[in-house]
Amino acid sequence: MEFQLLPGGVISGEARVPGDKSISHRSIMLGAIAEGTTRVSGFLEGEDALATVAAFRAMGVVIDGPEDGEVAVHGVGLNGLQAPAKPLDMGNSGTSMRLIAGLLAGQAFDSELTGDVSLCKRPMGRVMDPLRLMGASIEGSAEGRPPLRVHGGQGLRGIHYDLPMASAQVKSCVLLAGLYAQGRTSVTEPAPTRDHTERMLRGFGYAVHREDGVISLEGGGRLGATEIDVPADISSAAFFLVAASIAPGSDLLLTHVGINPTRIGVINILGLMGADITLKNHREVGGEPVADIHVRYAPLHGIEIPRDQVHLAIDEFPALFIAAACASGRTVLRGAEELRVKESDRIAAMAEGLNTLGVRNEVLEDGIIIDGGVLGGGVIHTYHDHRIAMSFAVAALRASAEIRILDCDHVGTSFPGFDALARGLGLQISARVD
């Protein structure tokens, strides 16, 4: 599938973007190993989250739905998972693979995790290393890439692990393995990362402690079923936050968006660039802070992105690169080497696309320098990365010529119905099946 976009447009109206992908994943994982039936509303019915559903069904968990965002997970308890009959296919979902690896490390049975061509190129040594320190037996390819083979019945022990880089996925993997470990498991993170796992564990009644950047839990407890209302995903909202900020005359309200403090880097960074963004109707839903976000067009200016915001916006940088391309002056990003190992090398892929549109940029090992200016048109290669596709769709609002975006099939992993919603809000977008 490819997107075709005519230049220009104004973003206006009100919308609720799909449910948070990170929370949707975790609702299935923890619901599956809880005791009782967990009911989830607002579940993201994207391909990544559905891969997680399929994996737990393959391990004997009965899951009703999803239907209109409603899911019921009939938990089997901490030790009730069953050996899958074949390798668990994670599709394109790195979150599924890294977090489920932690759960599988503590099982009595052998298992294998695999995925699509893109996922099988992504590094998994970062989770394999701490799991091995806990006593797990786990193997990947020679380069530490999938498929991963996990040998059960190892008897895990709690460890203290200093994360070599800020990563919510690695932190979560270790904590989930810690549920099955003897003694205390603790993780120190060098910078705050999204804390959905810790919040949700507490929601299931499992004690998790945090003090001075150290998160810890004791193994061998139990999780009790709960109800989860998944807020709209701020990573999906980010495309429209940028869209309304760069298109003159825009006025947009995004409702029920999760504003977890470990995820609001995109709002903070856009604010520093001069965006007109207001948060309204603050509330808490299932332990997660939620608000409606009102954004109107405002002239943006380039900034040096503060280091302390980088890990709070790591998934939103492709969209932020488009904001930088439309801003006056220079934007500098450093300390974002994590972008090199996402669904694509997002620094390289975004730089290539910006070059196509005539936007001057300089690639750094750990970031990029972007000089804002006039955007042209052209053909964009996404490298099968959903966030690259959606970011360049937004760029069309300020482009001077048509933009064609190739290989957009993976947009459905995180944002099913993106093109229809974008069209309804004012983007001149059409999708064509190859």
Asked if residue 159 lies in contact with residue 185, where contact means CB atoms within 8 angstroms, the answer is yes
Across 170-192, b (16+ Cβ under 10 Å) vs e yields: bbbbbbbbbbbbeeebbbebebe
Residue-by-residue DSSP string for 319-374: HHHHHHHHSBSEEEE-S-GGGGGSSS-HHHHHHHHHHHTT--EEEETTEEEEE---
How many Å apart are CA 227 and CA 434, to the nearest integer? 41
What is the spatial order of strands in the sheet that 70-76 belongs to?
62-67, 70-76, 35-41, 227-229
Asked if residue 255 lies in contact with residue 292, where contact means CB atoms within 8 angstroms, the answer is yes
Residue-by-residue DSSP string for 300-317: -B--B--HHHHTTSGGGH
Give the relative orientation of helices 21-33 and 168-178 as an angle to the nearest 10 degrees: 10
How many Å apart are CA 321 and CA 270, to the nearest integer? 11
Supply 14's token pair: 């009100």
How many Å apart are CA 174 and CA 197, to the nearest integer? 11
Which residues are marked as active site?
315
| Largest CA-CA distance found in the chain, in angstroms, rounded | 61
Asked if residue 45 lies in contact with residue 27, where contact means CB atoms within 8 angstroms, the answer is no
Supply 19's token pair: 């449910």
